[in-house]
Amino acid sequence: MALDRNVAPNDLNAFWMPFTANRQFKKAPRMLVAARDMHYTTADGRRVLDGTAGLWCCNAGHCRPRITAAIQAQAAELDYAPAFQMGHPKVFELANRLLDIAPEGMAHVFFCNSGSEAVDTALKIALAYHRARGEGSRTRLIGRERGYHGVGFGGISVGGIVNNRRMFGTLLAGVDHLPHTHLPARNAYTRGQPEHGAELADELERIVALHGAETIAAVIVEPVAGSTGVILPPKGYLERLRAITAKHGILLIFDEVITGFGRLGAPFASQYFGVLPDMITCAKGLTNGVIPMGGVLTTAAIHDAFMQGPEHLIELFHGYTYSGSPIASAAGIATLETYREEGLFKRAAEIAPYWEAALHSLKGLPHVIDIRNLGLIGAVELDPVAGEPTKRAFAAFLSAYDRGILIRTTGDIIAMSPPLIIEKAQIDQLVGTLADVLRGLA
Ligand SMILES: Cc1ncc(COP(=O)(O)O)c(C=O)c1O
């Protein structure tokens, strides 16, 4: 049968775009055709300063030669190796290099292909871990309101963003949620970690009292919540969460998909805050966003609980065709090497105070009701248009793009997370242009 369906190659209709206002986009497309370092190039030849590291993932900037070369060489040498019952050297090397920069106490890595898969993997490991130890009654999972843990059924069940949940049925059973820690009345315009709200971690005691500790497998939180519009942990909050989970034998999972790989000026947020969870999920910056890859770091105690019984048997019935694929592994190694060679995590820490000062200079501009920051993360919250939430921030996003900067919005919050190679002059450009955008908003 002829395949002539009269579809022009540049017809925009066929591709159903993710997390996008499809009809709006297709009327006025924003097409990126090239990238280098801090900039994208648009189809109409404009340079756009990347204020978001793509989607919080290109931490070393774009089209970095070492990463490109590693991918090219790997594709020509070993394109694919079966992920189950077979191995290849690069994935073992990457796991070791990852542990080199991971918090002390992390001892093993399970690879997958995205943040969503990392979250579902960690939740499954948590359930199976308790069962392997004879505590199979621990089946409940605790997330947090406004949390974002990707879009798998596990992730949206423990997640707390209503639009990501309400269309998708009953989700996982046996999930409960902590309250979020966004307290604008008490913490607005805080620089760095907020002073107020550590006591919100004590809500976990209430949840434990309600269900019984022996029914709870794990608590998962983002150390800094990004996709929901940047929510920071109040001082002492993560420490309390760690103490309560430890007291009740509940695993603590940090979802570090955006905080991993230098976003706060340390390899992981766990090191920045000095709080060690039982598992860490990561993705995005693991390969500089270039090739899909995610991972779950676990302690030895978790891993070792599975390593029993006859040695010819598979210990964990979980994995993906592309878990630790050769090309992703090569990209990961080259990425970690780039971070190390250029000292990018330290660089992020050094430039963070300048970033903070620049962001907070936006206070007092039209519609701004809060500004918050940590490491190289920043958020500017806008007063919503009455009855039309998200409209004002989306208008800011479009205006910013027209003026040559890429920002991200969620709800009425503008979030920024530039590559860690950003220069002071580029921070000035980003924040200065955003100031012009805000002055021009209706
Ligand atoms: C904290 C967190 N977890 C999970 C995810 C999902 O990652 P992916 O889109 O790679 O599935 C994200 C994505 O932004 C994230 O921020």
CA dihedral defined by 89, 95, 99, 101, rounded to 10 degrees?
90
Q: Confidence band (pLDDT; 50, 70, 90) for 197? A: very high
Which of 300, 317, 342 is the C-terminal boundary of a domain?
342
Do 217 and 255 lie in one domain? The reply is: yes
Apex CA 120: angle with CA 115 and CA 121, to 5°? Answer: 90
Question: What integer pLDDT is reported at residue 202 of this predicted model?
Answer: 98
Do 235 and 353 lie in one domain? The reply is: no
> Average model confidence (pLDDT) for the chain?
97
Do 46 and 178 lie in one domain? The reply is: no
Question: What integer pLDDT is reported at residue 5 of this predicted model?
Answer: 57
Do 286 and 366 lie in one domain? The reply is: no
Distance 410 CA to ligand 1 centre (A): 14
Question: For residue 68, with 0-12 CB atoms within 10 Å meaning exposed, 13-18 middle and 19 or more buried, which class applies?
Answer: middle
Question: What integer pLDDT is reported at residue 103 of this predicted model?
Answer: 98
Mean pLDDT to the nearest integer, 11-22 = 96
Do 319 and 386 lie in one domain? The reply is: no
Do 44 and 139 lie in one domain? The reply is: no
Ligand 1 atom having least distance to the Cα of 152:
11
Helix 344-360 crosses helix 424-440 at what angle (to 10 degrees)? 30
Q: 274 lies in a domain?
A: yes
Question: What integer pLDDT is reported at residue 442 of this predicted model?
Answer: 86
Q: Which residues line ligand 1 (CB under 6 A)?
A: 114-116, 119, 148-150, 222, 226-227, 255, 257-258, 283
* pLDDT > 90 fraction of the chain, expressed in percent and rounded: 98
Q: 11 lies in a domain?
A: no
Q: 124 lies in a domain?
A: yes
Q: 91 lies in a domain?
A: yes
Q: How many CB atoms lie within 10 A of CB 134?
A: 8
Q: Which residues contact 119 (CB under 8 A, 6 or more apart)?
A: 149, 150, 152, 154, 155, 158, 220, 255, 257, 281
Nearest to 277 by CA among 295, 250, 306, 257: 250
Has residue 262 got a pLDDT over 60?
yes
Ligand 1 atom having least distance to the Cα of 294:
10
Characterize 298-312 residue by residue with b for buried, 16 or more Cβ atoms within 10 angstroms of its Cβ, and e for exposed. Answer: bbeebbebbeeeeee
Catalogue the E-assigned strands of 151-266: 175-178, 216-221, 251-255
| Pairing label, strands 294-299, 405-406 | unpaired
Do 60 and 94 lie in one domain? The reply is: no
Q: Which residues make beta-bridge pairs with 109?
A: 297
Q: Whose CA is nearest to atom 3 of ligand 1?
A: 149
pLDDT tens readout for residues 343-355:
999 999 999 999 9
Do 176 and 242 lie in one domain? The reply is: yes
Which of 342, 374, 404 is the C-terminal boundary of a domain?
342
Q: How many CB atoms lie within 10 A of CB 341?
A: 10
Has residue 155 got a pLDDT over 70?
yes
Q: 267 lies in a domain?
A: yes
Do 195 and 305 lie in one domain? The reply is: yes
Distance 439 CA to ligand 1 centre (A): 32
Q: Where are the alpha helices (DSSP H) in 212-281?
A: 237-247, 269-273
Q: Confidence band (pLDDT; 50, 70, 90) for 8? A: low
Residue holding tokens 């919080």? 56
Distance 276 CA to ligand 1 centre (A): 20
Q: Whose CA is nearest to atom 13 of ligand 1?
A: 150
Q: Which residues make beta-bridge pairs with 62?
A: 37
* pLDDT > 70 fraction of the chain, expressed in percent and rounded: 98
Do 206 and 297 lie in one domain? The reply is: yes
Q: 16 lies in a domain?
A: no
Q: Could you tell me the two tokens for 253?
A: 């999972």
Q: Confidence band (pLDDT; 50, 70, 90) for 1? A: very low
Domain span at residue 432 reads 22-64+343-440
- With residue 369 as reference, give the H or E element that holds it: strand 368-374
| Pairing label, strands 405-406, 47-50 | parallel
Nearest to 93 by CA among 80, 111, 79: 111
Which of 322, 342, 362 is the C-terminal boundary of a domain?
342
Domain harbouring 370, CATH code? 3.90.1150.10
Distance 308 CA to ligand 1 centre (A): 32
Residue 359 CA to chain centroid, in angstroms?
Answer: 21
Do 146 and 100 lie in one domain? The reply is: yes
Domain harbouring 194, CATH code? 3.40.640.10
Q: How many CB atoms lie within 10 A of CB 332?
A: 29
Q: How many folded domains does the chain comprise?
A: 2
Question: What integer pLDDT is reported at residue 10 of this predicted model?
Answer: 76
Our mutation pick for probing the ligand 1 site, out of 123, 157, 164, 227, counting the most ligand atoms within 8 A of Cβ, is 227
Do 108 and 74 lie in one domain? The reply is: yes
Sheet containing strand 408-410, strands side by side: 368-374, 377-382, 413-416, 408-410
Characterize 408-434 residue by residue with b for buried, 16 or more Cβ atoms within 10 angstroms of its Cβ, and e for exposed. Answer: bbbbbbbbbbbbbbbeeebbebbbebb
